[in-house]
Structure 1
Amino acid sequence: MNFPVFKEGATIGVTAPSSGVPSALHDLVKLSCSRLQSRGFDVVCGETVWMQEKAKSAPAQVRANEFNAMMNNDAIDMIIPPWSGELLIEILEYIDFEQLPSKWILGYSDVSALLLAVTLKTGLATAHGTNLVDLRGEYSDETTAMWQVVLSTKTGESVLQHSSPKYQKEWKHAAPSPCIYHLTEPTYWKTVSGAKTNLQGRLLGGCIDIIRHLTGIPFGDVRHFQKHFIHQDPIVWYLENCELSTTDLRRSLVQMKLAGWFEHCSGILLGRSSANRPVEGYTAEDVYQELAEELRLPIVYDIDCGHVPPQMTFINGAYAEIEVDEGKGTVKQVFKP
């Protein structure tokens, strides 16, 4: 595994490999850039950031070219897209995976297809966490703010994160918060077993709506990754559901299982979701119970990951030690080569 080096005063490249930002919301990007600059970063925005038409910032080749250029620009130290979108998968065939230098890429949701593909194909660690526009607040909550601490971890070192005290149940755009999120509900991590749970392994994951589409294609070769980059260490999957009904969630998990993604796996973490809509009384908890019984693996759910903020920063390829007890969780990530 190759873990990028985070630099103080880094230059952040902002490109939109999925959706760009419509003109009515350009101020969100500008404010986010200004906040980062006030904290000592330089920020360079690509042209795709300011564009959006037909569910994407630009044609796939244009998006890929800008991403490749920023990755290979020595003056840019890391990449943070403005936010996610719908059609990032279109650019994967145009990414120059063989020439990617060691730089952090940070994001989530649709961007998780890029993150997971990069890590699986190259052994370069990538960061699943906050996007750019959610860094526009006067300050960040303690969970979100850990992105910089996590990315500053050096190879061979470790970093510890704790479950959030509270999470956001709903957006209140009419009453903006100085830290962006309205954290009102007590966080409670749960286990299918109901008991204290410990698990260890290499982290892989993302938004299940998105990364399920990597199964069976060259960008989702988990077996190759296990053999060539992590010395056959077990995998801990972290997954979050953006929009799937419980039946679609079940279909997606079964697809991943049949594709071999859960072979040599030591456990699964599932993020909070507002999309877990029951179908004829079939709930997300039913899905988790069935999966735990089929795989005979510990499953933890309602963790700080995904579209119900705040979320931890998970590093694809890091070795993690996770402990969950009485609703609280800790995630220790070791940047193990």
Structure 2
Amino acid sequence: MITYPVFTNGSTIGVPAPSSGVGEERHNILNQAIKRMQTKGFNVVSGETAWTQNKAKSAPAMKRAKEFNSMIKNDEIEVIIPPWGGELLIDILEYVEFDKMQNKWILGYSDLSVLLLAITLSKGLATAHGTNLVDLRGEYSDETTAMWASVLATNRGETIVQKSSPLYQKEWSHNNPSSCVFNLTEKTYWKTINNQPICIEGRLLGGCIDVIRHLIGTPYGDVKRFRDKYIPNEPVVWYLENCELNTTDLRRSLVQMKLAGWFEGCSGILFGRSHGNYKTDF
């Protein structure tokens, strides 16, 4: 059975940087995000790693893991929201104290999905694929982004409905943000393989395929054990974001996931928008 953390509005947010931190040139946007959360009634505990960045990571692996472990064990912190993703979160997995993991929400996306998926598969603890902290610095949040608090505050046995965003942002523009941070200009649309409406259901697993594929064959990527122990006889819906993989690399990764048994019991796969190279001969 999946364990769902408890979250209440006005609780304490922990801000470590288990992947990338925020370099000095962008400290202003992290400060804005923290102040915005404080004006909404949240207490914010910021880690040292959130403010540093060197060689594609916020700090050495041991320091990042130690800070994350400390926040996980801190009874006063109810939710952990790193500033953003990055590149080298996988460095810290061997140092994360999974056996001491408390039931608290961890929210993020991109490289953070390595940690989110590893925790869910290893502990049966629900994690949240959603907004990073710097995305919450605006005067207000668009309807989709603003759902993070409502979703995390949903109690076990309750239901919450999420809808697709009407518009999305085409590209990042940190130096020209809108009042809600994102410059929402492009219309959201859905496509299916046969261009027909479909209905699928199951437990959501996934993240950024560029990075979660590296969990395959490791102790942190045992999907079969997770399914047998925590969701026996339940289908899985995979959601996959492609950041930088070209078409052939994406295909290789999907085949690897299939050969590793990750798609057993799968009822469907959701793909997010991709900037990858889709020019190919097949």
Question: 2 CA distance for matches of 1:173 and 1:88?
Answer: 23
How far 1:281 moved relative to its partner? 4.1
Question: 2 CA distance for matches of 1:254 and 1:27?
Answer: 42
Matched ranges for 1:38-187 at <5 A: 38-187=39-188
Please give the secondary structure, in 2, of the residue aligned with 1:2. coil
How far 1:173 moved relative to its partner? 4.2
Residue 243 of structure 2 is matched in structure 1 by 242
Please give the secondary structure, in 1, of the residue aligned with 2:75. coil
Whether the 8 Å CA contact 1:119–1:126 is kept in 2: the answer is yes
Question: 2 CA distance for matches of 1:133 and 1:83?
Answer: 7
Residue 25 of structure 2 is matched in structure 1 by 24
Counterpart code for 1:75: E
Question: 2 CA distance for matches of 1:160 and 1:91?
Answer: 34
Please give the secondary structure, in 2, of the residue aligned with 1:119. helix
Residue 254 of structure 1 is matched in structure 2 by 255
Structure 1 runs of 4+ aligned residues shifted over 2 Å read: 170-176, 278-282
Question: 2 CA distance for matches of 1:136 and 1:112?
Answer: 21
Question: 2:185 aligned with 1:189, yes or no?
Answer: no
Counterpart code for 1:280: T
Question: 2 CA distance for matches of 1:189 and 1:134?
Answer: 24
Whether the 8 Å CA contact 1:235–1:264 is kept in 2: the answer is yes
How far 1:174 moved relative to its partner? 4.7
Please give the secondary structure, in 1, of the residue aligned with 2:138. coil
Question: 1 CA distance for matches of 2:280 and 2:239?
Answer: 27
How far 1:75 moved relative to its partner? 1.3
How far 1:232 moved relative to its partner? 2.7
TM-score, structure 2 as length reference? 0.97
Q: What whole-Å deviation, never above 9, does each CA across 1:92-122 have from its counterpart, x for those lacking one?
A: 0111111101000000000000000000000
Number of equivalenced pairs: 281
Please give the secondary structure, in 1, of the residue aligned with 2:44. strand
Q: What whole-Å deviation, never above 9, does each CA across 1:39-90 have from its counterpart, x for those lacking one?
A: 1101010011111111111111111110000010111111001111110001
Whether the 8 Å CA contact 2:247–2:280 is kept in 1: the answer is no
Counterpart code for 1:188: Y
Q: Which ranges of structure 1 fall in alignment gaps of 5 or more residues?
A: 283-337
Residue 319 of structure 1 is matched in structure 2 by none
C-alpha RMSD of the superposition: 1.0
TM-score, structure 1 as length reference? 0.82
Which of the pair has the greater relative contact order for Cα pairs under 8 Å at 6+ separation? Answer: 1
Residue 332 of structure 1 is matched in structure 2 by none
Please give the secondary structure, in 2, of the residue aligned with 1:197. coil
| Same amino acid, percent of matched pairs | 64
Counterpart code for 1:215: I
Matched ranges for 1:206-225 at <5 A: 206-225=207-226
Moved more, 265-274 or 204-213: 265-274
Please give the secondary structure, in 1, of the residue aligned with 2:107. strand
Question: 2 CA distance for matches of 1:170 and 1:115?
Answer: 25
Question: 1 CA distance for matches of 2:195 and 2:246?
Answer: 24
Q: Which ranges of structure 2 fall in alignment gaps of 5 or more residues?
A: none
Q: What whole-Å deviation, never above 9, does each CA across 1:278-336 have from its counterpart, x for those lacking one?
A: 24344xxxxxxxxxxxxxxxxxxxxxxxxxxxxxxxxxxxxxxxxxxxxxxxxxxxxxx
Question: 2 CA distance for matches of 1:280 and 1:231?
Answer: 39
Matched ranges for 1:259-298 at <5 A: 259-275=260-276, 277-282=277-282
Question: 1 CA distance for matches of 2:158 and 2:121?
Answer: 22
Question: 1 CA distance for matches of 2:172 and 2:237?
Answer: 30
